[in-house]
Amino acid sequence: MKPLLYLAGIGALAACATARPVVPLPAYYDVANAEHPKYPHARYLTGTGSSEVSADDADARAKANLAAQISSRVKSETTSFQEFTSRTGNTAENVVSRISVNSEFARADLIAIVEHEKQGDTFHSFVVLDRAAADRELTGATTADLIRFQTAVTNSSRARREGNSGIFNAAASDAMSVRPRLDSNFVMRRAIAGHRAVDEEERYSESLKELIQNVTQARDNRVVGVVFSKATGNRLGDLAINAVKHFGVQTDSIACKDRSDKTRTDATELSVEPEENCMEGSLGEKCEVMVHLLAQACGGSASGAGTVALVRGVHPSDVNKARKSAWDKVTQQAVEAAVRDALKSAIGVEAQ
pLDDT digits (tens, 9 = 90+) for 215-244: 888 888 889 999 998 766 568 889 999 999
Q: Given a cut of 60, is residue 351 above it in pLDDT? A: no
At residue 256, what are phi and psi to the nearest 5 degrees?
A: -55, -40
User: Is pTM beyond 0.75 here?
Assistant: no
Residue 36 DSSP code: B
**122-130 β-sheet, strand order:** 44-51, 122-130, 112-119
**Per-residue pLDDT reduced to its tens digit, 254-311:** 999 999 887 888 899 999 999 999 998 888 999 999 999 999 988 877 889 999 999 9
Q: ∠ CA 110-116-120 to the nearest 5 degrees?
A: 145
Half-sphere exposure of 133 (CA within 13 A, CB side): 11
Pairing of strands 303-315, 284-297: antiparallel
DSSP string, 189-226: HHHHHSS--HHHHHHHHHHHHHHHHHHHHHHHH-EEEE
Distance CA 45, CA 67 (A): 10
For 223, 271, 314, the CA distances from 230, given in Å and listed in that order, are 22, 10, 23
**Per-residue pLDDT reduced to its tens digit, 99-130:** 556 667 778 888 999 999 998 889 999 999 99
- pLDDT of 71 reads 86
Burial of residue 344, with CB atoms counted within 10 A of its CB: 0-12 exposed, 13-18 middle, 19 or more buried: middle
- pLDDT of 263 reads 83
Q: Given a cut of 80, is residue 349 above it in pLDDT? A: no
**Per-residue pLDDT reduced to its tens digit, 299-340:** 877 889 999 999 999 999 999 999 999 999 999 999 999 999
Computed over every residue of the chain, the mean pLDDT equals 85
